[in-house]
Structure 1
Amino acid sequence: MSEQNIQILETLLILVLYTVVFFVIKNIVNNTLKKAQLQRARRKLIIKAIHLFLSIALVVLLAGIWGLEQKEIAVFASTIMTVLGIAFFAQWSLLSNVTSSLILFFNHPLKMGDTIKILDKEYPIEGEIAELTYFFVYIKTKNGEIITVPNSLIFQKSVSIIEAQEEKVIE
């Protein structure tokens, strides 16, 4: 068997293993989070994050199989870490909104359906959280307006939860 045939076989094996591992982890995480009674939207976000990390691992493994040297793989990994580091400190970038959404998701009591007030002297915003995404929080005011607020702004400002929506498990 030639070296290229071995690489193709290893690639196919890694892709099959990746698929199996992803679906096993997805089912385990989904079942665990259902027992913890998290909303479906939050479960989906966690599964997307797991998919991202598994995909990065897949790219690194495939790069190793196809002959990239450890130095080149290390450059790739350090580039990803640099981008994440910049995202934590760059307040107005799109990356800061994505990282803020992850921090808000895991460490903030906000959830869809809550009525909140963003405590800002110049532009106070009050309304119900209609949707939480990677970049924005959509707030529906009493007047029926939908206001998009960047996640990084929610992360930086004080937020008052006026009325918390009871969390329900949605199958």
Structure 2
Amino acid sequence: MVDTNQVLDMIVRGNLSKLIVAIVVILIGFLIGRFLGNLTKKVLKELNTNKILKENLGINLPIEQFLSGLVYYLILFVAVVMALNQLGLSTIILYIILVIVLVIVVGLVVLAFKDFIPNVFASFWIHQKNILKEGDKIEIKDVKGVVEEITLTEVKIKTKDNEVVLIPNSLLFKEKIKKSLSLGKKDSAKKD
């Protein structure tokens, strides 16, 4: 006859060792993820990624922080999956975790681009309708000046005081723009 104490002892020892291994896997994943995330951030900073994107594409996104965080969480996710496998949990739980992570990542990407996308669409609209061009004298809100540059995300206006003011392109949809024509006449336009 089988002794129930022996069976229970085997189950507890087996599961306890699996639990310890799973915890160690997560801790190692945390350390490796943190190291590689910081390394990614350092390398991207050395390459001046944020500055290059801003100067060449007019995109002001913290890509260094985003990619380093992505590396960290991806490695941590792999460690959690390995730990769950070590515990013998079914693949359905892994699929649920994967779906949750994907929803979170998509949500974060949408939040990261929530201001960028309307500004890009407004930029295309400005160029297509020829609303503004460099050298135009305009007034929007409380800012008067000359349009210095129209980028993918913003309009740079130089004021009388030689200050450069950045106006998001999406604001041009919402605000009244007063534009001085080359003939000296005032043209006031409201964007719908």
Per the normalisation by structure 1, the TM-score is 0.45
Larger RCO, structures 1/2 (Cα 8 Å, 6+ apart): 1
Task: Please say which structure displays the higher CA radius of gyration.
Answer: 2
